[in-house]
Amino acid sequence: MYICLCRAVTDRQIRESVENGASSFREVREELDVGTCCGRCVPETRELIDQALSEIAGRISVAA
């Protein structure tokens, strides 16, 4: 699903960015240019980043 219409960034791209090491909105923004135009996507992008980080943390704690 498209999260940032201005830059055509999808939820999958945001999750992949986090999976590849991005751990903040700033890092995702630098990689994908999300949230740099109108800004309407910023809250949802932050939520997706938090969800992806939580999922990663959950996998790590289960594996430990």
Query: What is the C-alpha separation between 47 and 38, in angstroms, rounded?
Result: 18
Strands (E) located in the chain: 2-4, 9-10
Asked if residues 62 and 27 have their Cβ atoms less than 8 Å apart, the reply is no
Backbone torsions φ then ψ of 18, nearest 5 degrees: -65, -45
Query: What is the C-alpha separation between 6 and 23, in angstroms, rounded?
Result: 22
Per residue in 3-55, pLDDT (tens digit) is 999 999 999 999 999 999 999 999 999 999 999 999 999 999 999 999 999 99
Q: Which CATH architecture fits 2-63?
A: Orthogonal Bundle (1.10)
Task: Give me the residue spans of the domains in the chain.
Answer: 2-63
Q: What is the largest CA-CA distance in the chain?
A: 42
Mean pLDDT of the region 58-62: 85
Q: How confident is the model at residue 64 (pLDDT cuts 50, 70, 90)?
A: low
Report whether pLDDT(1) > 80.
yes
